[in-house]
Amino acid sequence: MGNDLMKTKIVRKNTPTIAEENGDPGNFEEVDLRIYPQGDKLFRTKIVEEAREVFAAKNRVDLLYELADLKQVIEEYMTFAAISEEDLDVVQHAKEISNGSFRTIEQSMGFWVQVMNPCKDMENHFRIGKGTQDA
């Protein structure tokens, strides 16, 4: 496998078999991402890819499928990065104490939102490697 991230991406376990059955065997290799030089970057890129698919979902069914994919990739990345659910819960709780939660009232769907320039800010927000925002 080369170091070109544009040509290298994480795929599901059955993707090589499905591709071959569809007449396009592709070029797949099983690698240990813990020792693969770009492993961390591949995971982060996959998370962004899945988040974009959540953003592009057109209906509830698509949204459920894309959220399931995103959740699975995040869980796999947490294992890869040795981050436990407890670690995440501690940080999430600390952020809620210091910055507040996203909801305005518990058990409601009221949220604070920041009004942005829709063209400029959304374009930058969803570009890989550019201006990320803390959530």
Percent of the chain exceeding pLDDT 70 equals: 73
What mean pLDDT is predicted for residues 117-122? 59
Question: Can you list the pairs that 74-81 forms with residues at least 24 positions away whose Cβ atoms lie under 8 Å?
Answer: 74/47, 76/43, 77/43, 77/44, 77/46, 77/47, 80/33, 80/34, 80/39, 80/40, 80/43, 81/40, 81/43
Q: Which residues pair with 111 in a beta bridge?
A: 103
Predicted confidence (pLDDT) per residue in 66-107, tens digit? 999 999 999 999 999 999 999 999 999 999 889 888 776 666
In angstroms, rounded to a whole number, what is the distance separating the alpha carbons of residues 95 and 100?
7
Question: pTM of the prediction?
Answer: 0.72
Which pLDDT belongs to residue 125? Answer: 56
Inter-CA distances, 85 with 41, 74, 79, 94, 132, Å: 21, 11, 10, 14, 23
pLDDT band at 36 (very low <50, low <70, confident <90, very high): confident
Task: Indicate the pLDDT class of residue 131, thresholds 50, 70 and 90.
Answer: very low
Q: Residues for the chain: how many in total? A: 135
